[in-house]
Chain A
Amino acid sequence: MSTWLWLIPGSPFVGALTIALLGGRLPAARLPWFACAAAGISALTVAAAWLGGAAQEPLRQTLYIWLAVDGWQPSVGFTLDRLALVMVTVVSGVGFLIHVYSVAFMDKEAEQRRYYFYMNLFLAGMLVLVLADNLLLLYFGWEMVGLCSFALIGFWYRDPVKAAAGRKAFTVTRIGDTALAIAIFLLFVQFGTLSFDVLFPLGEGDWEGATAVALLILVGALGKSAQLPLQVWLPDAMAGPSPVSALIHAATMVTAGVYLIARTHPLFELAPGVQWTVAAIGVLTIVYGASCALAQHDIKRVLAYSTVSQIGYMFLALGCGAYALALFHLATHACFKALLFLSAGTLIHSAGGEHHIGRLGELNAGSRTVQLCFLVGAASLAAVPFFTAGFYSKDAILTAAWVAPVGGLLWLFAALGALLTGVYIFRVYLTVFHRSAEPLLRPRGRLPTPIAVPLLLLAALSLSVGFLEFPEGSGGPHTWSTWLESELDLAKHPEHHTTRVLQALSALMAVAGIALAFPLVRRERAGKSLPWQSFLQTGWRFDALYARLFVQPYHRTASALARWVEQGLIEAGLNGLTRGFWVMAAGLRRGVEFGSVERGLTFLVVGLQRGHAMLSATQNGLLSRYAVSVTTGTLALLGFWLFWPWGG
């Protein structure tokens, strides 16, 4: 099985290359299915890996070592351990479903070749990222997915707003990428290797640089995963097509930060302060995202803020040392959030590109299936007790947060977030699907199969995945965390009674949130808006703040530099200089230029040309001269050896 490991990222990579190089020769109607096949082979290989024993023993494959110089061995090597297995299953599975969905969704688009090229390339990059056995290759995948994210957000680049959203995403994540790169440099300087096997575990010895490196890795993760304070790019990233939002900005790429921290967790355990910061940023982001989602009118922006908030839960789990639970929430979130995005996308599609939830409700274009799927996704997101996957994953994180330092406070924030989650998602559901007035648009016919199948599959998963890990103390099996225990330590939970109380409270929060959504929607229909509506809708005015703090000063400095330094100083100076030089040159021209300077400057050129000419003259075709040259050369060599100081 190990020998086939390369096929997981290799198949979409070859797919992307083929689409780029030969895509013009494929019939246009086949192109989407070709891309799907590439993603499908990858997913099948993952399935084969499950059967082939990857779930027991890590599989390894080193494809290629570029050049080995001492300890520096940049290799393309893959390790499929349990952590990576979880990730590749989510990425390739959801990735394949979304590729299939795209076939119908992007049907009418003109530039499908570009779309599928980037989709396949993204999948390859993401799989390289999670399979990499060293940080350098991980970083390569990290940059590749960043590039594809940029290109796909700006897929409709002729609309300047959308192109700008792509640029913003790229620029903001770049801050994180740079931090990660510096962290990698520091690790290499310290340990002389970037291979995970050698790097982790770091051993018992505490290393002073750990705090700095962990902090830098955290910044990298914050950028990719859109956590406070680098969250501003994600809501704008919704400018891309909905399948892209589902795949890149909900299920996979944005969770790369979670994966990164889980992968490098020994480092964070050496720096407890940084680890607590991870949790603190997590809870702040939970409340931030949930509160912002409350006030959005664009359905995709609600989901974007919800993603920000949900990834906050994963960061909270990471910060509390509950790595397996973070991954668990990552997996369930990938299912229900992809489901939400895809059903929202279908809805938007059938409503002719309408994003506003109020107007979507008036149009009422969604079919029964879409409504059902959205309801399942919303219930799972709101963590409706017992039925939904979201309940099992979120609930476990909440109890685990209680035992962390200052756990009470963390729990309080997270529980507040859980309450708000129920409110905002059911606000959307009720506004869009439960409209008493007569619908303007009747749903037309059945959903196309490539759309219906992924939706239903994801819905089934959103309900069932949770049963892998029953709540602490419930007596149910803990399949997930015990299976991951060999690589990621078990999470600590508070004592039995406290756990019970906390679980009851958080379940109550979810239900209460959903209940609160009803009066809220009624209020909104009556035309009253939330308090602090505009503050929340603009994402706590972060964009304005950053514009004031960074963007405007930057532009102002640039224009000041342009005006004062460029025009005032340099150009004026240059003008003066030019005039001066002009005068001087005119003087010098007579005296020096025709004299020494020209000769000096052209000396080199002429010398080389002269050398060429002289040597060329020796190539005169005269046999005897050639023979003389051979003889002279022989004598010269013998003479050199005999009479040279170090010879003889």
Chain B
Amino acid sequence: MANDLVALLPFILLAMGGCIVLTLGVWRRYVSTWTMTMVTLSFLVASAVAAALWTVPQQVGAMLVIDGMSLVFTLAFTLGTAAIVLLAYGYAPTQGETRDEFLSLILFGTLGMALLASTKNLLAAFVGLEMLAVPLYALVAWRPSRPGAVEAGVKFGILAGFAAAFFLYGIILVYASAGTLDLTGISSSDVEDRMLTAAVILVLVGVGFKLALVPFHMWAPDIYQASPAPVTAFVATVAKAAALAFLIRLLSLQLPHVWEDLLPVIGLLAVVTMVVGNLLALRQQNLKRLLAYSSIAHLGYIMVALAAGNDLGRDAAIYYTVVYVIMNIGAFGVVAAVAHSAGDRETLSDYSGLGRRDPALGVAMGVCLLALAGLPPTAGFMAKFLAFGAAVDADRVALAVIAVLNTALAFFYYLRILVVLYKERGMVSVPRANGTIRIVVITATVATVLLGVFPGWLLNINYLNNG
């Protein structure tokens, strides 16, 4: 029992942090935004430390399993959220408004993510998914007085509820077919009916909505554009990674007959997602929408790794997910750094000459973009290399070729942003970016390069403890 409590410490800390921050909000006059941010950060970091001290592997109760994968993802979620909290603190449009409610919502959302990364029960996964989703509705509509904010929140809420229905229906079908909701139980049940496959497809739809896979992607650009940049970063990076963590765990089940049918479906999803995501990004002039579309395309690449259906693909997907979180935090951080006090800079031309005005941010954005495009020595290259390598390894060469062609297509719009950043004519004036945001952006940039040079840090982990 005591052991279980120790293992649960990261979760307990997050929940406690949320409650404490909420309580601090009672003394509105006496507690500054800075204090609240620091309290939130310390709970996030404490949770990360507690997670880092986990003994892996172990099972906690009937619903949680703590292994290499939950360790890596919990660390990524808590630290990534810490970065986003810092972004929100320095973000000009919501200056002084990211207080108790905002921060507690973020902490509860993180708890949901941590749950998703460690659960081995479908019902617990659903709880985690909703614990993450409900705070997001409110976060997307942050500063409800802003035009369009409430609309975005409601839109997101309705659609997410709609997708959750598919997920729930899938769970019910799983239970009807296998008689259990426990992942190890499903793995060991030897049912061979097609209902299980249909059920997994429905679960896939529910998760696919969170991941904005095509054709479940349509909410993403609207929501990304409508929310403040730090929230966009939250939705686009860690929140997606949480859903991915669950998906990766789901796809690691030992159900050969199901995967035989499903891997082509996942491959199809990957192809459609890549192509549509890249085409949508191609001539997009709004930077936040562009990043939204590019993140759709990136999820497509991750699906390529998962469609390989082997251990290499799983490791590649985990690596890709972590790298995806880091490089997108860097890119959205730059967007947050140069926001006007009235709102984000929207169109690309609002960024022209940024790299000349502020070299540090320019270089950071350049590195993050090249990483997104997949150039060595950044981690973005290594991630694509591993993902496509896994596909080739599984004899899905056509998939890998399509993915590589898409990468080439993607260069066009990433490099276009770089050109704008270093344009000499029509340079915009940039206020000196906030120090906290600067730290986040530079840390993310350095991490992007370091993970590219030392991929072994993430690759030498025994994720699922299966030899």
For the complex, is A616 an interface residue (Cβ under 8 Å from B)? yes
- A552 contacts partner chain B, Cβ-Cβ < 8 Å: no
**Contacting residue for B218 out of A629, A637, A646, A648, CB 8 A:** A629
- Whether B218 contacts A67 by the Cβ 8 Å rule is no
User: Does A623 have its Cβ within 8 Å of any Cβ on chain B?
Assistant: yes
Chain B's closest residue to A613 (CB) is B283
Whether B282 contacts A619 by the Cβ 8 Å rule is no
In the complex, are the beta carbons of A641 and B279 less than 8 A apart? no
Q: Which residues of A contact B454 (CB under 8 A)?
A: 64
A637/B162 contact (C-beta < 8 A), A612-B280, A644-B264 known: no
A591 CB → nearest B CB, Å: 33
Tell me if B201 counts as interface (CB < 8 A to partner A).
Answer: yes
Tell me if A626 is interfacial: C-beta within 8 Å of chain B: yes
A608 in contact with B282 (CB, 8 Å): yes
Please tell me if A625 contacts chain B, counting CB pairs below 8 Å.
yes
B234 at the A interface (CB under 8 A): no
Interface status of A501 (Cβ within 8 A of chain B): no
The number of A-B residue pairs with CB atoms under 8 Å apart is 85
Residue A369 lies at the interface, judged by CB distance under 8 Å to chain B: no
B-chain residues with CB within 8 Å of residue A619 when the two chains form the complex: 218, 221-222, 280
Is B197 a contact of A641 with CB atoms below 8 Å?
yes
Query: Which residues on the B side are within 8 Å of A632 (C-beta)?
Result: 215
Q: Which residue on B lies nearest to A629, using beta carbons?
A: B215
CA A625 to CA B453, docked complex, whole Å: 44
A627 to B455, CA, bound (A): 40
Flag if A637 contacts B261 (CB, 8 Å). no
Give the interface size bracket for B toward A.
Answer: 35 or more
Contact of B261 among A65, A66, A647 (CB under 8 A): A647
Complex Cα distance, B453 from A542, in Å, reads: 46
Residues of B within 8 A of A627 (CB): 158-159, 162
- Give the residues in chain B near A637, CB-CB below 8 Å: 201, 204-205, 265, 268-269
- Residue A547 lies at the interface, judged by CB distance under 8 Å to chain B: no
The reply to whether A648 and B194 contact each other, CB–CB distance below 8 Å, is yes
Contact with A along B134-178 (1 / 0, CB 8 A): 000000000000000000000100110011001000000000000
Known contacts A619-B221, A627-B159, A630-B162: does B280 contact A641 (CB below 8 Å)?
A: no
> Roughly how many angstroms separate A611 CA and B214 CA in the complex, as a whole number?
15
- Contact assessment for A629 and B216 in the assembled complex, using a CB-CB cutoff below 8 Å: yes
Kindly identify which residue among B158, B202, B268 contacts A640, using a CB–CB cutoff of 8 Å.
B268
A606 in the interface (beta carbon within 8 A): no
Question: A621 at the A/B interface (Cβ < 8 Å)?
Answer: yes
Determine whether the beta carbon of A67 is less than 8 Å from that of B201. Answer: no
Q: Are A633 and B205 in contact (CB under 8 A)?
A: yes
Q: Could you tell me the distance in whole angstroms from the C-beta of B292 to the nearest C-beta in chain A?
A: 10
- Contacting residues, chain A, for B261 (C-beta < 8 A): 641, 647-648
Does A534 interact with chain B (Cβ within 8 Å)? no
How far apart are B218's CB and chain A's nearest CB, in angstroms? Answer: 4
Q: Which residues of B contact A644 (CB under 8 A)?
A: 264
Q: Out of B208, B219, B265, name the residue touching A641 (CB < 8 Å).
A: B265
Are B215 and A630 neighbours in the complex by a CB distance under 8 Å?
Answer: yes
Query: Smallest CB–CB gap between A512 and chain B, Å?
Result: 60
Contact in complex: A616, B205 (CB < 8 Å)? no
Instruction: Give B384-429 interface residues, CB cut-off 8 Å to A.
Output: 385
Interface flags for B179-214 (1: CB within 8 Å of A; 0: not) read 000000000000000100110011011001100001
Whole-angstrom distance between the Cβ of B241 and the nearest chain A Cβ: 21
Q: With an 8 A cutoff between CB atoms, is A171 at the interface?
A: no
Is residue A634 contacting chain B, with contact meaning CB distance below 8 A? yes
Q: Which residues of A contact B222 (CB under 8 A)?
A: 619, 621
For window 595-641 of A, CB contacts with B under 8 Å fall at 608-609, 611-612, 615-616, 618-619, 621, 623, 625-627, 629-630, 632-634, 636-638, 640-641
A641 close to B218 (CB less than 8 A):
no
B158 touching A615 by the CB < 8 A rule?
Answer: no
Residues in chain A near residue B385, CB distance under 8 A: 67
CB neighbours of B455 from chain A (8 A): 67
B456 part of interface (Cβ distance < 8 Å)? yes
Name the contact of B282 in the complex, choosing from A65, A612, A623 (C-beta under 8 A): A612
Asked if B262 is an interface residue, CB under 8 A from chain A, the answer is yes
Q: Nearest CB to that of B165 among chain A residues?
A: A630
The distance from the CB of A264 to the nearest CB of chain B, in whole angstroms, is 29
Partner of B456 from the list A65, A608, A648 (CB cut-off 8 Å) is: A65
In the bound complex, what is the Cα–Cα distance between A626 and B159 (angstroms)? Answer: 8
Residue B276 is within 8 A (CB to CB) of chain A in the complex:
yes
**Taking the complex as formed, is B372 at the interface, i.e. its CB lies under 8 A from any CB of chain A?**
no
The closest CB in chain A to the CB of B217 belongs to A629
Tell me, yes or no, whether B115 is within 8 Å of chain A by CB.
no
Please name all residues of chain B whose beta carbon is closer than 8 Å to the beta carbon of A625 when the two chains form the complex. Answer: 218
How far apart are the CA atoms of A56 and B453 in the complex, in Å?
34
CA separation between A593 and B379, bound complex, in Å? 46
B155: which A residues are within 8 A, CB to CB?
Answer: 623, 626
CA distance A630 to B160 in the complex (A): 11
Contact B194 A612 (CB under 8 A): no
Chain A residues with Cβ under 8 A from B215's Cβ?
A: 629-630, 632-633, 636
B283 touching A623 by the CB < 8 A rule? no
Which residues of chain A are near B279, meaning CB under 8 Å? Answer: 608, 611-612, 615
Question: Interface 1/0s, chain B 411-453, versus A by CB < 8 A?
Answer: 0000000000000000000000000000000000000000001
B242 close to A (CB within 8 Å): no
The 0/1 profile, CB within 8 Å of A marked 1, for residues 88-102 of chain B is: 000000000000000
Residue from A66, A634, A646 within 8 A of B205 (CB atoms): A634
- At the interface, yes or no: B382 with Cβ under 8 Å from chain A? yes
CB-based contact B159/A641 at 8 Å: no
- Contact residues in B for A646 (Cβ distance below 8 Å): 264
B283 pairs with A612, CB closer than 8 A: yes
With the chains together, A646 CA to B268 CA distance in Å?
A: 13
Nearest CB to that of A633 among chain B residues?
B215
In-complex Cβ contact of A638 among B198, B269, B280, B283 (8 A): B198
* A70-B80 Cα distance, complex, nearest whole Å: 34
Bound-state Cα–Cα, A629 to B129, Å: 21
Residues of B with C-beta under 8 A to A612: 279-280, 282-283
Minimum CB distance partner of B264 in chain A = A646
Interface membership of chain B positions 262-301, coded 1 if the CB is closer than 8 angstroms to chain A and 0 otherwise: 1011001100000010011011000000000000000000
- List the A side residues contacting B382 at CB < 8 Å: 67
Inter-chain contacts of B221 with A (CB < 8 A): 619
A630-B209 in contact given A612-B282, A618-B218, A621-B222 (Cβ < 8 Å): yes
Considering the chains assembled together, what is the distance between the CA atoms of A629 and B217 in angstroms? 9
Question: CB-CB < 8 A to A623: which residues of B?
Answer: 155, 158-159
How many whole Å from A269's CB to the nearest CB in chain B?
A: 37
Across the interface, name the chain B residue whose C-beta is closest to A646: B264
Can you sample 26 A-B contacts with CB below 8 Å? A64-B453, A67-B382, A608-B279, A608-B282, A609-B282, A616-B280, A618-B218, A623-B155, A629-B215, A630-B215, A632-B215, A633-B208, A633-B215, A634-B201, A636-B215, A637-B204, A637-B265, A638-B198, A640-B264, A640-B268, A641-B197, A641-B198, A641-B261, A646-B264, A648-B194, A648-B261
User: 6 tightest CB-CB pairs across the interface, nearest first?
Assistant: A633-B215, A626-B218, A611-B279, A634-B205, A612-B282, A629-B215
New A-B contacts (19) at CB < 8 Å, excluding given A64-B456, A626-B155, A633-B214 = A608-B282, A609-B283, A615-B276, A618-B218, A621-B222, A626-B159, A629-B215, A630-B163, A630-B205, A630-B216, A637-B265, A637-B269, A638-B198, A638-B201, A640-B265, A641-B264, A641-B265, A646-B264, A647-B264
